[in-house]
């Protein structure tokens, strides 16, 4: 089915419940969004499975933002999963090294959950991408961890960091999803629920 053409380009004020500089950059790829950044103090949880963990955390962030705004709200949470283990953000040098030891030489999944609230309507979706690391490179990993880069990133790394690039063997799926915001999925949700939705938001 051909994509519908908008007669008039609309811009929507949408609250993004995030403080992530990476998500602030990625949202710029969606031209109809006028983002209002609203970091939340929601406490993140770790549950059984990467998708469940990400979904609940995105919901907690979105619900926190909804208590302060009645505008459409987007919230995200990204986690890494391997061997049924959920890898969030490392809280120590030791834990960051342990994460790389688990990830190197193998393929892991990166899950980003999207929470989208429009008035009383709530949509929850998630995107999965599979990333393969090469063999553990002690010098590379220790230098990266010593730089302090891993501590605010799920799985202890940002795929866009030049220092980590030599470890990346393959990415299967949405690259933006690994950075922290699945642009195509998010844009689709906005189109379905704001631009073309029968009961969508009205500015």
Catalytic residues: 77
Instruction: Specify burial of residue 24 (Cβ count, 10 A radius: 0-12, 13-18, 19+).
Output: middle
Asked if 13 and 71 count as a contact pair (C-beta separation under 8 A), the reply is: yes
Asked if 119 and 93 count as a contact pair (C-beta separation under 8 A), the reply is: no
Q: What is the SS3 string spanning 129-150?
A: EEEEECCCCHHHHHHHHHCCHH
Provide the 8-state DSSP code for 3.
P
Asked if 184 and 178 count as a contact pair (C-beta separation under 8 A), the reply is: no
Neighbour count for residue 148 (Cβ, 10 Å): 10
**CB-based contacts of 50, cutoff 8 Å, min separation 6:** 79, 80, 81, 86, 109, 111
């Amino acid at each position: 089915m051909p994509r519908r053409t908008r007669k008039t380009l609309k811009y929507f004020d949408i609250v993004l419940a995030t403080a992530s500089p990476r998500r602030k950059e990625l949202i710029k790829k969606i031209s109809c969004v006028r983002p209002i950044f609203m970091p939340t103090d929601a406490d993140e949880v770790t549950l059984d499975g990467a998708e469940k963990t990400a979904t609940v955390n995105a919901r907690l962030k979105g619900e926190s933002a909804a208590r302060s705004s009645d505008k459409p709200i987007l919230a995200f949470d990204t986690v890494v999963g391997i061997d049924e283990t959920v890898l969030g953000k490392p809280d120590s040098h030791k834990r960051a090294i342990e994460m790389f030891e688990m990830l190197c030489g193998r393929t892991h999944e990166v899950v980003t959950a999207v929470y989208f609230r429009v008035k009383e309507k709530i949509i929850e979706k998630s995107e999965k991408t599979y990333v393969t690391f090469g063999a553990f490179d002690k010098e590379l990993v220790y230098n990266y961890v010593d730089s302090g880069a891993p501590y605010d990133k799920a799985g202890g790394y940002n795929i866009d960091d030049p220092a980590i690039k030599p470890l990346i063997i393959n990415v299967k799926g949405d690259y933006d999803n690994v950075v922290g915001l699945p642009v195509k999925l998010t844009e689709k949700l906005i189109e379905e629920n704001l631009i073309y939705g029968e009961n969508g938001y009205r500015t």
